Each structure stands twice: as C-alpha cells, then as structure tokens.
Amino acid sequence: MIPLMIANVDEENIVKKVGGSPEVRKHLEDLGFVAGSNVKIITVLNGNVIVQVKEARIAISREMAQKIYV
C-alpha cells in the first residue's frame, strides 16, 4: 500500500484506504475516493494532481493525494 502521490502516471490503481481527519476523509469520499474504486493519475502540475476517479477528472492537492492509499 502506497500513497497515491507515489503511483505512476497513467497507471490504474485501486483505492485501498483513505486517511486523514474525519472531515478530510468525508470530503475525499464525496469526490469518489472510496476503498475499492479505480483511480488513475492523469498528470502532476505545480504540486497539484489531476486524477481520474469513476467517470470524472478531479484536481486535488499534493497533501490530499498523500492521504489516499493504493
């Protein structure tokens, strides 16, 4: 299990765990980052990460990506 930030670009991964405070976990789960869901890093720009989760592309901060484990 590694943080999403360390995963390779364009590689399909499965979310294993979402960490952080209860508020952060709830926010990430509302965006679609739930255990068992597929996630793929599209690109990394200026410390922000653009990921594809479910059928959407979402930009999250590097700090948020560190809380998602794949």
Query: Considering the entire predicted model, what is its pTM?
Result: 0.89
Local confidence band at 46 (pLDDT 50, 70, 90 cut-offs): confident
Residues belonging to the chain:
70
What is residue 15's three-state secondary structure?
Answer: coil
Tokens describing residue 7: 């995963």
Q: What is the pLDDT of residue 10?
A: 93
Q: How many Å apart are CA 12 and CA 14, to the nearest integer? A: 7
In this predicted structure, the answer to whether residue 54 has a pLDDT above a threshold of 90 is no
1-45 pLDDT, tens digit per residue, is 999 999 999 999 999 999 999 999 999 999 999 999 999 999 999
Q: How many Å apart are CA 32 and CA 56, to the nearest integer? A: 9
Instruction: Give the single-character DSSP code of 49.
Output: E
List 51's β-bridge partners, or say none. Answer: 41, 58
In this predicted structure, the answer to whether residue 58 has a pLDDT above a threshold of 90 is yes
Tokens describing residue 25: 């976990």
Set out the domains of the chain in order of their start, with CATH numbers.
Answer: 4-69 (2.30.30.90)
